[in-house]
Amino acid sequence: MAALAMALAWALASVPAMAAGPVLAGGVPTTGWITLGTAGGPVASPTRSQPANALVTPDGVYLVDCGDGCVEQLAKAGIGLDRIKGLFISHLHYDHVGGVSALLGLRHQTSNYAPLPIYGPPGTQAMVDGLIAAMRPFTELGYGLPGVPSIDPATTVRVTEMRGGESGALNGLRFANAQNTHYSFAPGSAEDARFRSLAWRFETGGRSYVFTGDTGPSQAVIDLARGADVLISEIIDLDATVGLVQRQNPNMSAQGKAGMLQHLSHHHLPAAEVGRMAQAAGVRQLVVTHYAPSNPSAALVARMRAQIAARYHGPVVMARDVARY
Protein backbone atom coordinates (compact mmCIF):
# COMPACT_ATOMS: atom_id res chain seq x y z
CA MET A 1 0.00 0.00 0.00
CA ALA A 2 2.86 2.40 0.80
CA ALA A 3 4.37 1.86 -2.64
CA LEU A 4 0.97 2.40 -4.28
CA ALA A 5 0.42 5.60 -2.33
CA MET A 6 3.82 6.93 -3.32
CA ALA A 7 3.20 6.12 -6.99
CA LEU A 8 -0.18 7.85 -6.84
CA ALA A 9 1.34 10.92 -5.22
CA TRP A 10 3.96 11.15 -7.94
CA ALA A 11 1.29 10.82 -10.60
CA LEU A 12 -0.72 13.63 -9.04
CA ALA A 13 2.40 15.76 -8.70
CA SER A 14 3.11 15.96 -12.40
CA VAL A 15 1.63 16.06 -15.86
CA PRO A 16 3.04 14.31 -18.91
CA ALA A 17 6.04 15.93 -20.51
CA MET A 18 5.42 17.82 -23.72
CA ALA A 19 6.40 16.08 -26.92
CA ALA A 20 9.86 17.13 -27.97
CA GLY A 21 9.35 16.81 -31.72
CA PRO A 22 11.18 14.57 -34.20
CA VAL A 23 13.67 12.05 -32.86
CA LEU A 24 17.20 11.35 -34.05
CA ALA A 25 18.73 7.89 -34.28
CA GLY A 26 19.30 6.57 -30.78
CA GLY A 27 16.12 8.12 -29.41
CA VAL A 28 17.44 11.66 -28.81
CA PRO A 29 14.84 14.31 -29.80
CA THR A 30 15.94 17.01 -32.25
CA THR A 31 14.55 19.77 -30.02
CA GLY A 32 13.78 19.64 -26.33
CA TRP A 33 14.95 20.22 -22.76
CA ILE A 34 16.32 17.41 -20.59
CA THR A 35 16.58 17.83 -16.82
CA LEU A 36 19.74 15.78 -16.32
CA GLY A 37 20.01 16.50 -12.59
CA THR A 38 17.23 17.88 -10.41
CA ALA A 39 18.75 18.04 -6.91
CA GLY A 40 19.20 21.41 -5.25
CA GLY A 41 22.05 22.44 -3.00
CA PRO A 42 25.54 21.14 -2.25
CA VAL A 43 24.59 17.97 -0.34
CA ALA A 44 24.76 14.87 -2.55
CA SER A 45 21.49 13.01 -3.02
CA PRO A 46 21.07 9.24 -3.40
CA THR A 47 18.09 9.71 -5.73
CA ARG A 48 18.83 12.86 -7.77
CA SER A 49 21.94 14.10 -9.55
CA GLN A 50 23.38 17.58 -9.11
CA PRO A 51 21.91 20.46 -11.16
CA ALA A 52 22.44 20.05 -14.90
CA ASN A 53 20.33 20.40 -18.03
CA ALA A 54 20.66 19.64 -21.73
CA LEU A 55 19.03 21.71 -24.47
CA VAL A 56 18.78 19.51 -27.55
CA THR A 57 18.69 21.30 -30.91
CA PRO A 58 19.09 20.19 -34.53
CA ASP A 59 22.62 21.66 -34.43
CA GLY A 60 23.75 19.84 -31.30
CA VAL A 61 23.29 19.70 -27.55
CA TYR A 62 23.96 22.61 -25.20
CA LEU A 63 24.49 22.12 -21.47
CA VAL A 64 22.87 24.57 -19.07
CA ASP A 65 24.78 24.20 -15.80
CA CYS A 66 26.95 21.15 -15.24
CA GLY A 67 26.81 19.77 -11.71
CA ASP A 68 28.63 16.70 -10.46
CA GLY A 69 27.57 13.58 -12.38
CA CYS A 70 26.56 15.47 -15.52
CA VAL A 71 28.58 13.25 -17.88
CA GLU A 72 26.97 10.10 -16.46
CA GLN A 73 23.53 11.67 -16.80
CA LEU A 74 24.27 12.49 -20.43
CA ALA A 75 25.06 8.81 -21.00
CA LYS A 76 21.71 7.85 -19.47
CA ALA A 77 20.03 10.27 -21.88
CA GLY A 78 21.84 8.69 -24.84
CA ILE A 79 23.97 11.78 -25.57
CA GLY A 80 27.67 11.41 -26.35
CA LEU A 81 30.20 14.11 -25.52
CA ASP A 82 30.81 14.64 -29.23
CA ARG A 83 27.32 16.18 -29.49
CA ILE A 84 27.98 18.86 -26.83
CA LYS A 85 28.37 22.17 -28.68
CA GLY A 86 28.33 24.63 -25.79
CA LEU A 87 27.95 25.19 -22.04
CA PHE A 88 25.92 27.95 -20.37
CA ILE A 89 26.50 28.57 -16.65
CA SER A 90 24.02 30.34 -14.40
CA HIS A 91 26.38 30.97 -11.48
CA LEU A 92 29.54 29.59 -9.93
CA HIS A 93 28.20 27.74 -6.89
CA TYR A 94 29.87 24.37 -6.92
CA ASP A 95 26.69 22.27 -7.13
CA HIS A 96 26.15 23.87 -10.56
CA VAL A 97 29.69 23.57 -11.93
CA GLY A 98 31.21 20.53 -10.20
CA GLY A 99 30.94 18.45 -13.38
CA VAL A 100 32.78 20.89 -15.65
CA SER A 101 36.15 19.31 -14.83
CA ALA A 102 34.95 15.88 -15.98
CA LEU A 103 33.31 17.38 -19.06
CA LEU A 104 36.52 19.07 -20.21
CA GLY A 105 38.84 16.25 -19.22
CA LEU A 106 36.81 13.46 -20.78
CA ARG A 107 36.32 15.42 -24.00
CA HIS A 108 40.10 15.70 -24.21
CA GLN A 109 40.70 12.07 -23.29
CA THR A 110 38.38 10.97 -26.10
CA SER A 111 40.22 13.19 -28.62
CA ASN A 112 37.46 15.79 -28.87
CA TYR A 113 39.60 18.90 -29.26
CA ALA A 114 37.10 21.24 -30.90
CA PRO A 115 36.96 24.45 -28.81
CA LEU A 116 33.94 24.28 -26.49
CA PRO A 117 32.15 27.64 -26.13
CA ILE A 118 31.44 28.38 -22.46
CA TYR A 119 29.23 31.30 -21.46
CA GLY A 120 28.95 32.32 -17.82
CA PRO A 121 29.06 35.15 -15.30
CA PRO A 122 32.18 37.02 -14.22
CA GLY A 123 34.66 34.56 -12.72
CA THR A 124 33.99 31.86 -15.31
CA GLN A 125 37.33 32.47 -17.05
CA ALA A 126 39.24 32.14 -13.77
CA MET A 127 37.40 28.90 -12.94
CA VAL A 128 38.09 27.41 -16.37
CA ASP A 129 41.74 28.51 -16.24
CA GLY A 130 42.12 26.57 -13.00
CA LEU A 131 40.52 23.48 -14.49
CA ILE A 132 42.76 23.71 -17.54
CA ALA A 133 45.81 23.90 -15.28
CA ALA A 134 44.61 20.80 -13.44
CA MET A 135 44.28 18.96 -16.77
CA ARG A 136 47.88 19.52 -17.87
CA PRO A 137 49.54 16.56 -16.09
CA PHE A 138 47.14 14.20 -17.89
CA THR A 139 47.31 15.93 -21.26
CA GLU A 140 51.12 15.87 -21.21
CA LEU A 141 51.09 12.19 -20.15
CA GLY A 142 48.53 11.12 -22.76
CA TYR A 143 48.37 7.33 -22.88
CA GLY A 144 51.99 6.88 -21.87
CA LEU A 145 53.38 6.45 -25.37
CA PRO A 146 56.72 8.19 -26.01
CA GLY A 147 56.98 10.75 -28.80
CA VAL A 148 53.24 11.46 -29.07
CA PRO A 149 52.57 15.23 -29.18
CA SER A 150 50.17 16.59 -26.58
CA ILE A 151 47.27 18.94 -27.26
CA ASP A 152 47.21 22.03 -25.06
CA PRO A 153 43.87 21.87 -23.20
CA ALA A 154 43.63 25.67 -23.28
CA THR A 155 42.90 25.38 -27.00
CA THR A 156 39.83 23.21 -26.36
CA VAL A 157 37.74 25.90 -24.63
CA ARG A 158 36.49 29.39 -25.50
CA VAL A 159 35.08 31.39 -22.58
CA THR A 160 32.76 34.39 -22.84
CA GLU A 161 31.82 36.15 -19.61
CA MET A 162 28.46 37.91 -19.47
CA ARG A 163 26.94 40.22 -16.87
CA GLY A 164 23.20 40.07 -17.61
CA GLY A 165 21.04 41.91 -20.09
CA GLU A 166 23.02 40.53 -23.03
CA SER A 167 22.13 38.36 -26.01
CA GLY A 168 23.86 36.40 -28.74
CA ALA A 169 23.77 33.40 -31.03
CA LEU A 170 25.70 30.16 -31.20
CA ASN A 171 25.22 28.08 -34.34
CA GLY A 172 21.43 28.04 -34.75
CA LEU A 173 20.72 28.82 -31.08
CA ARG A 174 19.74 32.31 -29.97
CA PHE A 175 20.14 33.23 -26.31
CA ALA A 176 19.69 36.11 -23.88
CA ASN A 177 20.19 36.51 -20.16
CA ALA A 178 19.26 38.60 -17.15
CA GLN A 179 20.84 39.13 -13.76
CA ASN A 180 18.65 37.46 -11.15
CA THR A 181 18.47 37.80 -7.36
CA HIS A 182 20.50 34.85 -6.08
CA TYR A 183 22.91 37.36 -4.52
CA SER A 184 22.19 40.43 -2.39
CA PHE A 185 25.14 42.62 -3.33
CA ALA A 186 24.21 46.27 -3.72
CA PRO A 187 24.01 47.44 -7.35
CA GLY A 188 27.22 49.21 -8.26
CA SER A 189 29.20 47.69 -5.39
CA ALA A 190 32.54 45.97 -5.89
CA GLU A 191 30.91 42.63 -5.06
CA ASP A 192 28.17 43.20 -7.60
CA ALA A 193 30.81 43.92 -10.24
CA ARG A 194 32.66 40.69 -9.44
CA PHE A 195 29.77 38.28 -8.89
CA ARG A 196 26.64 37.81 -10.98
CA SER A 197 23.97 35.10 -11.13
CA LEU A 198 22.18 34.73 -14.46
CA ALA A 199 18.88 33.46 -15.80
CA TRP A 200 18.97 32.35 -19.46
CA ARG A 201 16.50 32.36 -22.36
CA PHE A 202 17.02 30.17 -25.43
CA GLU A 203 15.23 30.18 -28.80
CA THR A 204 15.56 27.16 -31.09
CA GLY A 205 13.38 25.18 -33.45
CA GLY A 206 10.50 27.63 -33.07
CA ARG A 207 10.40 27.12 -29.28
CA SER A 208 11.59 29.22 -26.34
CA TYR A 209 13.00 27.93 -23.06
CA VAL A 210 13.78 30.04 -20.00
CA PHE A 211 15.93 28.76 -17.15
CA THR A 212 15.68 30.75 -13.92
CA GLY A 213 18.94 29.46 -12.49
CA ASP A 214 19.02 29.93 -8.73
CA THR A 215 17.07 33.07 -7.91
CA GLY A 216 14.79 34.77 -5.49
CA PRO A 217 11.74 36.74 -6.65
CA SER A 218 12.85 38.72 -9.70
CA GLN A 219 11.04 41.04 -12.08
CA ALA A 220 13.99 40.73 -14.46
CA VAL A 221 13.42 36.97 -14.69
CA ILE A 222 9.69 37.51 -15.28
CA ASP A 223 10.50 39.92 -18.12
CA LEU A 224 13.03 37.48 -19.60
CA ALA A 225 10.46 34.66 -19.50
CA ARG A 226 7.60 36.68 -21.04
CA GLY A 227 5.55 34.39 -23.33
CA ALA A 228 8.07 31.53 -23.27
CA ASP A 229 6.99 28.02 -24.24
CA VAL A 230 8.70 26.47 -21.22
CA LEU A 231 9.92 28.00 -17.95
CA ILE A 232 12.35 25.79 -16.04
CA SER A 233 12.33 27.02 -12.44
CA GLU A 234 14.08 26.23 -9.21
CA ILE A 235 12.02 25.67 -6.03
CA ILE A 236 12.48 25.52 -2.27
CA ASP A 237 10.36 24.45 0.68
CA LEU A 238 11.81 26.72 3.34
CA ASP A 239 10.60 24.84 6.42
CA ALA A 240 11.78 21.45 5.19
CA THR A 241 15.14 22.81 4.02
CA VAL A 242 15.85 24.72 7.23
CA GLY A 243 14.94 21.65 9.28
CA LEU A 244 17.28 19.49 7.21
CA VAL A 245 20.20 21.93 7.52
CA GLN A 246 19.72 22.22 11.28
CA ARG A 247 19.68 18.44 11.70
CA GLN A 248 22.89 18.13 9.68
CA ASN A 249 24.57 21.04 11.51
CA PRO A 250 23.29 20.94 15.10
CA ASN A 251 26.22 23.05 16.34
CA MET A 252 25.82 25.85 13.80
CA SER A 253 26.50 29.27 15.31
CA ALA A 254 23.78 31.87 15.67
CA GLN A 255 25.52 33.96 13.02
CA GLY A 256 25.64 30.96 10.70
CA LYS A 257 21.93 30.28 11.20
CA ALA A 258 21.05 33.90 10.47
CA GLY A 259 23.09 33.88 7.25
CA MET A 260 21.56 30.58 6.18
CA LEU A 261 18.01 31.86 6.75
CA GLN A 262 18.74 35.06 4.82
CA HIS A 263 20.15 33.11 1.90
CA LEU A 264 17.41 30.50 1.76
CA SER A 265 14.54 32.96 2.16
CA HIS A 266 15.79 35.70 -0.17
CA HIS A 267 17.79 33.86 -2.83
CA HIS A 268 15.42 30.99 -3.70
CA LEU A 269 11.79 30.54 -4.78
CA PRO A 270 9.08 28.97 -2.63
CA ALA A 271 6.31 27.21 -4.52
CA ALA A 272 3.81 30.08 -4.35
CA GLU A 273 6.40 32.46 -5.79
CA VAL A 274 7.24 30.01 -8.59
CA GLY A 275 3.56 30.01 -9.52
CA ARG A 276 3.26 33.79 -9.30
CA MET A 277 6.25 34.40 -11.55
CA ALA A 278 5.14 31.81 -14.12
CA GLN A 279 1.67 33.35 -14.26
CA ALA A 280 3.03 36.89 -14.50
CA ALA A 281 5.31 35.87 -17.38
CA GLY A 282 2.49 34.11 -19.23
CA VAL A 283 4.55 31.01 -19.95
CA ARG A 284 2.89 28.04 -21.65
CA GLN A 285 4.38 25.32 -19.44
CA LEU A 286 6.26 25.22 -16.14
CA VAL A 287 8.93 22.62 -15.33
CA VAL A 288 10.10 22.57 -11.72
CA THR A 289 13.60 21.38 -10.85
CA HIS A 290 16.45 22.05 -8.37
CA TYR A 291 14.45 20.76 -5.42
CA ALA A 292 15.35 21.98 -1.96
CA PRO A 293 15.43 19.78 -0.02
CA SER A 294 16.98 17.57 -2.69
CA ASN A 295 15.16 14.41 -1.58
CA PRO A 296 11.57 15.65 -1.22
CA SER A 297 8.96 13.13 -0.21
CA ALA A 298 6.12 12.39 -2.58
CA ALA A 299 3.81 14.25 -0.21
CA LEU A 300 6.05 17.32 -0.24
CA VAL A 301 6.25 17.29 -4.04
CA ALA A 302 2.46 17.09 -4.23
CA ARG A 303 2.10 19.96 -1.79
CA MET A 304 4.54 22.10 -3.77
CA ARG A 305 2.58 21.44 -6.93
CA ALA A 306 -0.68 22.42 -5.27
CA GLN A 307 0.86 25.68 -4.04
CA ILE A 308 2.09 26.44 -7.56
CA ALA A 309 -1.30 25.63 -9.09
CA ALA A 310 -2.98 28.14 -6.79
CA ARG A 311 -1.06 30.89 -8.63
CA TYR A 312 -0.25 29.45 -12.08
CA HIS A 313 -3.02 28.04 -14.26
CA GLY A 314 -0.97 26.32 -16.97
CA PRO A 315 0.48 22.79 -17.06
CA VAL A 316 3.06 21.98 -14.38
CA VAL A 317 5.69 19.23 -14.42
CA MET A 318 7.61 18.31 -11.28
CA ALA A 319 10.78 17.17 -13.01
CA ARG A 320 12.77 14.01 -12.45
CA ASP A 321 16.30 13.21 -13.58
CA VAL A 322 16.77 12.54 -17.30
CA ALA A 323 13.21 13.62 -18.16
CA ARG A 324 12.51 15.34 -21.50
CA TYR A 325 10.22 18.26 -22.37
Residue 248 has pLDDT above 80, yes or no: no
- Which residues lie below 8 Å from residue 197, measured CB to CB, with a gap of 6+? 90, 91, 121, 179, 180, 181, 182, 183, 213, 214, 215
Q: What is the pLDDT of residues 50-83, one digit of tens each?
A: 999 999 999 999 999 999 999 999 999 999 999 9
CB 318 within 8 A of CB 265: no
CATH assignment at residue 235 = 3.60.15.10
pTM of the model: 0.89
Q: What residues make up the domain containing 197?
A: 2-324
In this prediction, residue 10 carries a pLDDT of 30
Report pLDDT digits (tens) over 78-100. Answer: 999 999 999 999 999 999 999 99
For 148-189, the pLDDT digits (tens) are 999 999 999 999 999 999 999 999 999 999 999 999 999 999
**CB of 165 within 8 A of CB of 178?**
yes
Number of domains in the chain: 1
8 A C-beta contact, residue 93 and residue 62: no
Q: How confident is the model at residue 201 (pLDDT cuts 50, 70, 90)?
A: very high
Share of the chain above pLDDT 70, in %: 91
How do residues 34-48 score in pLDDT, each as one tens digit?
999 999 989 899 999
Query: For residue 17, what pLDDT band results from cuts at 50, 70 and 90?
Result: very low
